[in-house]
Amino acid sequence: MTKDELISQIARDSGFNKVNCKKILESFINVTINILGEGHRLPVFRLGVFEVVRRDARTGRNPRTGDTMTLPEHNAVKFRPSNSLKEKVNSGLVIPDRPGKVKRAHIAKTARKRSKGGAVRKSSKSSKEPKGPKEPKGPREPR
C-alpha cells in the first residue's frame, strides 16, 4: 500500500477529506520522528510500541566484497506489536513467498566471485549485433 492509498483509506473510514487526512498523517510521522529522535518510547494504542534501542558494535561482512568489517555501535528503532495486532496478523492469513526473493547463499557466492576477480556481470547483449524481427515458429506440438 502506498502513502496515497493509505490516505484515501483513512479518508473513506473517517469521513474527513484527503487534504486533512494527509496533514494528520504527516503530523503523526513528524511527531513520531521527533519523539524517537529524543530517545523516548512511543506507545500507539492497539498498534504497538516504538522505542529506541542501543545496538552494540559487531563484526559483519560487506555483501559486495565479502570482506569482514567492524560495524560501530548505533541506535536503532525497535517496534513491538500489540497483542491485538499479533492476533490479526496470525488469524489464518497465509503470505506466499515473494517472487524474485534472492537467496542468501546466492549473495555470498556472488560476493566471493567479486572478491576474486572484480565485478560479476550478466551476459551483455549490447556487444552483439541487434537481431532482426523474429521468424514465426511453426505450430506447437502438444506435450
pLDDT digits (tens, 9 = 90+) for 31-81: 999 999 999 999 999 999 999 999 999 999 999 999 999 999 999 999 999
- pLDDT tops 60 at residue 123: no
Q: What pLDDT shows up at residue 93?
A: 74
Percent of the chain residues topping a pLDDT of 90: 61
Residue 26 maps to a domain: yes
Over residues 16-42, mean pLDDT: 96
Dist CA 7 CA 27 (whole Å) = 13
Pair 26, 8 in one domain: yes
More confident residue, 26 or 110: 26
- pLDDT tops 90 at residue 142: no
List, as one string, the DSSP characters of 1-67.
--HHHHHHHHHHHH---HHHHHHHHHHHHHHHHHHHHTT--EEETTTEEEEEEEEPPEEEE-TTT--
Residue 69 maps to a domain: yes
Residue 34 maps to a domain: yes
Q: What pLDDT shows up at residue 96?
A: 77
More confident residue, 121 or 41: 41
Dist CA 121 CA 98 (whole Å) = 24
Q: How many domains does the chain have?
A: 2
> What does pTM read for this prediction?
0.60
Q: Which three cell numbers stand for residue 114?
A: 567479486
Cα 54 from chain centroid?
Answer: 22
Dist CA 115 CA 66 (whole Å) = 7
Pair 4, 34 in one domain: yes
Pair 60, 73 in one domain: yes
Q: Which three cell numbers stand for residue 70?
A: 567492524
Pair 74, 64 in one domain: yes
Pair 74, 45 in one domain: yes
- pLDDT tops 80 at residue 124: no
Dist CA 74 CA 57 (whole Å) = 8
Q: Supply φ then ψ for residue 42, to 5 degrees.
A: -130, 100
Dist CA 32 CA 36 (whole Å) = 6
CATH code where residue 78 lies: 4.10.520.10
Domain that holds residue 29: 1-38
Pair 34, 44 in one domain: no
Residue 53 maps to a domain: yes
